[in-house]
Amino acid sequence: MLQKVQSRRRRHQRVRKHVRGTSTRPRLAVFRSSRHVYAQVIDDVQGRTLVAASTMETDARSFATANVEAAKAVGQRVGERAKAAGITQVVFDRGGFRYHGRVAAVADGARETGLEF
């Protein structure tokens, strides 16, 4: 496996030691690949994904999927779906990525819809 991927996974494990989602305050996990951005709201106690959004969805594929604007749209979409599911507070999990660029854009988009973290 590539050193870059191994390093990210190691960083993610360090973050996950402290970041844990519950039913009252689930975890907003972000993953970015070279082509897409994914976001999930997860209850770690039950081991269930409550809400998800990504640039793989058909309505998101009409524009570029690997830039900051697309990531912000994913954050807004996951925030709207979380609000509809009755979730107002989350714990942010950056997935071992730096809080910069597309990862920060997902967080900003989710905050704009009213999610607190």
The domain total for the chain is: 1
Confidence at residue 84, expressed as pLDDT on a 0 to 100 scale: 97
Q: Which domain holds residue 41?
A: 3-112
Evaluate whether 111 touches 88 at the Cβ level (below 8 Å): no
Confidence at residue 80, expressed as pLDDT on a 0 to 100 scale: 97
CATH, residue 17: 3.30.420.100
Give the integer Cα–Cα distance in Å for 9 and 95: 8
Residues facing 74 on adjacent strands: none
Q: Is residue 98 part of a domain?
A: yes
Q: In terms of Cα–Cα distance, which of 62, 68, 72 is closest to 39?
A: 72
Q: Is residue 30 part of a domain?
A: yes
* For residue 1, pLDDT beyond 90: no
Give the integer Cα–Cα distance in Å for 99 and 94: 7
For β-strands 27-32 and 91-93, DSSP reports them as: parallel
How much of the chain, in percent, has pLDDT values that exceed 70?
Answer: 99
pTM of the shown model: 0.90
Q: Is residue 50 part of a domain?
A: yes
Q: Is residue 117 part of a domain?
A: no
pLDDT digits (tens, 9 = 90+) for 43-83: 999 999 999 999 999 887 778 898 999 999 999 999 999 99
User: Rounded mean pLDDT of the chain?
Assistant: 94
Q: Is residue 83 part of a domain?
A: yes
